[in-house]
Copies of this chain bind each other. A is one copy, B any other.
Amino acid sequence: MAPKIKDVAAKAGVSVTTVSRVLNGEKYVKDDLKDRVNRAIEELGYTPSRIARSLVRRKTNLIGVIVPDVTSSFYSTILSSIEKTASLSGYNLLVCNIVEDTDKELKYLNVFQEMRVDGIIIMHEKMNDEIREMIHKLDIPLIFSSVKPANQKFVSVIIDDYAAAYEATRYLVGLGHERIAFIGGDMRDVTSGQNRFVGYSNALEDSGIRFDGERIRFGDYKTQSGYDLMKELMAAESRPTAVFAASDDMAVGAMNCVHDLGLKVPDDISMIGFDGSWLADQVRPRLSSMEQPIREMGETTVKALIALIDGREDAPGQDIILRHKLVERDSCKYIGRT
Q: Are B73 and A71 in contact (CB under 8 A)?
A: yes
In the assembly, how many copies of this chain are there?
2
Q: Which residues A1-44 have CB closer than 8 A to chain B? A: 2
Q: Does A253 contact B (CB under 8 A)?
A: yes
A198 partner residues in chain B, CB cutoff 8 A: none
Q: Which of A110-132 contact B (CB under 8 A)?
A: 110-111, 113-116
Contact with B along A80-113 (1 / 0, CB 8 A): 1001100100001111110100001000101101
Contact B92 A92 (CB under 8 A): no
Interface residues of A (CB under 8 A from B): 2, 45, 47-52, 54-55, 60, 69-71, 73, 76-77, 79-80, 83-84, 87, 92-97, 99, 104, 108, 110-111, 113-116, 137, 139, 223, 252-253, 255-256, 259-260, 278-279, 282-284
> How far, in angstroms, from A337 to B323 measured CA to CA in the complex?
57
B137/A45 in contact, CB under 8 A: yes
Q: How far is the CA of A283 from the CA of B256 in the complex (A)?
A: 7
Are A55 and B47 interface neighbours, CB within 8 A?
A: no
Residues of chain B within 8 A of A94, CB atoms compared: 92-94
The residue in chain B whose Cβ has the minimal distance to the Cβ of A227 is B282
